[in-house]
Structures are given as C-alpha cells and as structure tokens.
A and B are shown apart, each in its own frame.
Chain A
C-alpha cells in the first residue's frame, strides 16, 4: 500500500505539471498536442545532466542542475510549436503530432550518439543510467520514501494557482485564449502572450518529463518516448476544465489508476485476480476515455484555442 501511495504521488506530480503546462498553453489559445514530445526533450536533457555530473557533485547541485536542464530543454522544444503555430500559423494538431515524432526520433539519435561518444564506440544503446542522480532526489519520512520531485510539483502547483487567479499576466493570457481581438484592442500583444503560454507549457512539461523518467526509475530507454504520459495529461487537463485546482484533483485520480499497473503485484487481492498484468496497463487509458465520454459534452475549452491569431483579420 505504501508503494501504491509512492507511485500515486509520483504520477500525480507528473500529470499535474504536464497538465498545467497544457493549461497555460491552451489558455493562451494554442492547443499543445506536443506535450508528449516536450516531455521527452526535458527527460533527455535532465537525464544527460545526471549522467554527466561527476560523482563528487552534491545532492543539491544534482537536483538543481537536473531540473534546470529539463526546464530549459522543455522551453526550447516548445518553441518548435510556438514558432510554427504563432508565427507561421501552422495547423496546431499537425505540428503537435510532428513534435512528438520528432522528439522520440531525436532523443533516440542523440542519446545513442551520446552513449557512443562516451563509451568510445562500445555502447550503441538509447538508454541512460543515472542511479546516483535518482538517489539524489530521494528522502525518507519514516518508511515512506519521497522524492524532491513531488515537493517541487506541489510548490509549482500552488504557484500556478496563485498566478492563474491573482495576476495581471494570467488575466491577459486568458483573454488571449478567449477573445484575442479584445485583448489586442486594449493593447495586449497577443503573439507575445501566446509565446509566453507555449513557453510555460514547455517549462512544465519539461519538468514533468524528467520526473516521469527519474522519480521511479534509475534507467530509461529513450526509444519508447514517455509512453503516452503527455496525452494522459491532456485528458487530465480537459477533465480539470482548464483550471489548476481541478487539474490537481483529476491528476490524482488518474495517477491512482496509473500506479495500479506498477504495483498490483504487491497488493494481494489484485494479484490474486486472474488478470494479466498488461490489463492494468490499459486501465488509465480506458478510464480516461470513459471519463472524457461523460465530461466532454459540457466541457468549455478556451474559445479561441486552435485558431491562429492574425492581427489583420479583425
């Protein structure tokens, strides 16, 4: 049961951060289907930092540098979406999909090249090992093993809620996603706000990516990307009605189901059930489909999302 709690916390942290990222992007008017890909880039950058840091590095250095690298990589890769969708007015669905493909392919190539170089041509795998890095993030409260990642996610969640409801920035951001012409008419630079929204999604999804691969594992194969976590986060965001506090609750709900597939072995009555382990893998996806089926009818997405903004077209 403790294990279930641990996994739930970790997956909640991932889903909350990535879904918040999606929320900021969509609130600014850009549908970000590339969250999955951004997570991969964030994960890769963070993972590489953990591998590269010398053994003598302090825990604190590891934690900070890993997070910074993941966030920056996430923001840079989110620009792939930002520039295409905002400046070039490209189809947001297509670009998001492309970024996902690009991320997995690029991560595979880069990590392989990275390994090849470091091993002088003996290791061609697309795998990163970061046992030490993984350990640096862990601390214990009693028998419960916790990760700094979870703490950071909690802090960012609170920050996001305050930002979303209390600041001038968020008011403007939301106006751009609802009625960009209105925002423009009062002198708000819609393009700038949308870039801000997309960059924030990069920041959050990048962090989500590193947590996803590093909080529960000490090694990761990059040819698999992040196995649909970004899309689960999108479902969480929709279920959370594009509002930070509701996103937090729905993330926890989804995380419980996601965790079951990792820990059902340890829970006697689940283990005793005559179901293959793979079935548990399906769980979060089935649940999200059902949840979406019941909530999508009434869901209220930001009105102007998905529509490229054009100053001339008033």
Chain B
C-alpha cells in the first residue's frame, strides 16, 4: 500500500499518468461526439480511428508502409513540440512556433525550388530563417516588453502572408495545380536522403528526418538537464528575478531561447517538406503544426522524449480520421479530439493534485498555494 503511494508520488510517474488520463478522456469525449453525430456508427468510427493502419495487419509490407508514413508525418509536430517545450522551460510561451514553422516552409521550398540548392543547405537555411523569426519575437519581448504570445501571433500572420507572396511566385508554384512543384521533378538534389526505406515497405518518404528528430530530442534533453546553459534557462523560466540576481543575462537568454526554438521549428518544416510528401498551397490560415505542437508538448509532459511518443500518438489519431467512413463522419473529428486533449492538458495540475492527495482534496491548502505562486511566477516571465 505504502509502496504504491510512493510510486504514485514520483513526479515522472504522475506526469505520465496525467498525460495518459488526458489522452483517454479525449478519446472518450471524441466517442461521445461521434455518438452525437451518428450514434449508429459511432463504435465503428472510433474503432476505425484507433485501429488505424493496423487494418493492414495481415499485409506486413503495407502495414510497415503506413507505419512509416505516420512516423514521417509525426516529424514536424514532434519537432514543433520540442521547440515549444524548450522555450516553455525558459518561461516563454512560443506560440510563434507556428510562424517560425511557416517561415521554414518558405525558405526551404524557395531555396530548393527557385535556387536549386542541395538539401543540406536548404535545411540549414530553413533553420536559420526560423531562428531569425524567433529572434524577432525575442527582440520585441526583451527590448519592448511585448508579451511573446501576442508578438508571436502577429508574426505568425505576417509570416503566413510573406510565404503566400513568395511561394505564390511562378518559380515555385505550379499554377495548374495551385501548389508548389514536386521536389523530385524540379530539384532531386533537394530531397532528403532515404533512411532504411526497405524496412518500411519501400516508403520513399522515409528519410533521415526521422532519426534526426530523435537526435534533436536527445540533444534538447541533454541541454536542459546537464548543461550550464540549460541550468540558466530553467532558472530564468522558474524565476526570472532570481536569475537576474544570480547575474544571468535575461535579455540575452530570452532572445537565444527563441532563436533556438525558432530554428527547431524551421527545421521541423524543412524536414517535412523536403521529403516532398506534401506541397505548399496558398493558405488563408497559419499552418496548424505549431499549434498542434503545443498540444504535443504538454501531452508529452514537457519532456523531450515524452514529446516523441505524444507526437506519434497525436499524428496517429489525426491520420486515423482518414479511416472514418465519410458517409457518416468527416475526418476533422480527429482534429477535434486533439483539440479536446490539449484543452484537457490544462487540467494536468488538477490531476496531479488529485494524485498527490487521494484523501483530502479540499483542505489541500499548501498545495494549491504553491500552484498559485507557481503560476504567479510564470506570469511574471
């Protein structure tokens, strides 16, 4: 009994439990929504989403192919989540990741399609551009005291329109299809090199993007937990006044954090678009990847490795929407489920409180006290 309690009190375990709880609740609510839309086929629909590509379980070749596709499509959302959690640890809510991601699309496709650069240079350029876009946000935050959320959102829209202008150009845009040209035909050197495609049913989109993503996650984990830089960032995130008192350079750290966060977002875009699995279309709303990244970051318990699993899960559900019978449902139900899950992530603190005090929740003064202070500290940042 006691052991069990001890186990439940470990922060890591609690984070995991809270995340699983969010996911499960989200799925249940999704099911209820399906019931509302069409009660007859709700169970089938839910089953289709959850079974997903395992539908092909008797054809291993195809199963692995679709598994690979899900992995490839998880790459950008995982990296966006890494970008967001990295900034969040330093006390910054980088909602601007969506715009940095968009700028990443702009630069990697332009350098590849219009300038014919090699994939490596395109990756690099996209990361640099994303970093610069992040730096802009950091500049407004550090020197003009503009809330990074508001600045990020404005920059998201500016980035979107900029991308529409540049990629809407005939050099990049195939006007007959109203989307950007396929990389393989226009600039084959711009396509990312493959990665054990044989294992994944010769999935041509399976590229080094997948291992790079894992490496980035591990590097972030190390930076945050082992280095003096991570120590500084987290100190700033927890208490920026104490960080200042300790002689840390808050302004530099704000900008640096957003540069890194932006670079990861830019990388996310290029690692996705340079597989040529998707082409850019003129859009009137900011690509949702950066926002889904928020969900993934929180669902993953703000842990770089947790984000990998959360990202895969989110993409799994989103793609699961496509297995729905469109006679009864539309695939956006899956997006709605994801949105519900991120909303539930807001309650993680509450879940943890429940786990901490299974008996008395009401008289839990000390704990709620702390949470209030914590959020106070967060707010100040």
Contact = CB atoms under 8 A, between A and B. Distances in A.
B330 A97 contact: no
Nearest to A230: B153
Contacts of A306: 375, 378-379
A84 B165 contact: no
B338 interface: yes
B154 A231 contact: yes
Given A113-B330, A285-B154, A308-B371, A98 B346 contact: yes
A57 to B, nearest CB: 27
Interface string B140-159: 10001111011101111110
A294 B143 CA distance: 10
Contacts of A307: 372, 375-376, 379
B146, B335, B346 — most chain A CB neighbours (10 Å): B346
B332 A89 contact: no
A310 to B, nearest CB: 5
Interface residues of A, number: 61
Contact of B298 (A89, A94, A112, A225): A94
B285 A225 contact: yes
A94 B365 contact: no
Q: Is chain B's binding surface mostly helix, strand, loop or mixed?
A: helix
A293 B140 contact: yes
Interface residues of B, number: 58
A289 B346 contact: no
Contacts of A121: 327
Contact of B153 (A80, A101, A231, A293): A231
Contacts of A297: 144-145
B365 A234 contact: no
Interface string A270-289: 00000010110110011011
A85 B379 CA distance: 14
Interface in A65-116: 80, 84-85, 88-95, 97-102, 104-106, 108-109, 112-113, 116
B277 interface: no
A98 B339 contact: yes
B63 interface: no
B144 A106 contact: no
B336 interface: yes
B147, B155, B294 — most chain A CB neighbours (10 Å): B147
A95 B346 contact: yes
Given A109-B332, A227-B284, A310-B369, A235 B154 contact: yes
A235 B154 CA distance: 9
A97 B341 CA distance: 12
Contact of B343 (A84, A126, A238, A286): A84
B363 to A, nearest CB: 9
B347 interface: yes
A120 to B, nearest CB: 12
A278 B166 CA distance: 11
Interface in B276-290: 284-285, 288
Q: Is chain A's binding surface mostly helix, strand, loop or mixed?
A: helix
A102 B346 contact: no
A279 B158 CA distance: 9
B162 A88 contact: no
A87 B335 CA distance: 26
A314 to B, nearest CB: 9
A137 interface: no
A102 B150 contact: no
B340 interface: yes
Contacts of B339: 98, 101-102, 104-106
Contacts of B233: none
A102 B343 contact: yes
A85, A294, A306, A313 — most chain B CB neighbours (10 Å): A313
Interface of B: 33, 37, 93, 95, 140, 144-147, 149-151, 153-158, 161-162, 164-165, 168, 284-285, 288, 291-292, 294-295, 298, 326-327, 330, 332-333, 335-336, 338-340, 342-343, 345-347, 349-350, 365, 368-369, 371-373, 375-376, 378-379
Interface of A: 33, 80, 84-85, 88-95, 97-102, 104-106, 108-109, 112-113, 116, 121, 124, 126, 223-225, 227-228, 231, 234-235, 238, 276, 278-279, 281-282, 285-286, 288-289, 292-294, 296-297, 299, 305-310, 312-313
Given A98-B295, A292-B146, 5 more contacts: A95-B346, A101-B339, A102-B342, A105-B336, A279-B161
Considering the complex of A and B, which 4 residue pairs feature the smallest CB-CB distances, nearest first? A90-B346, A98-B343, A306-B379, A312-B365
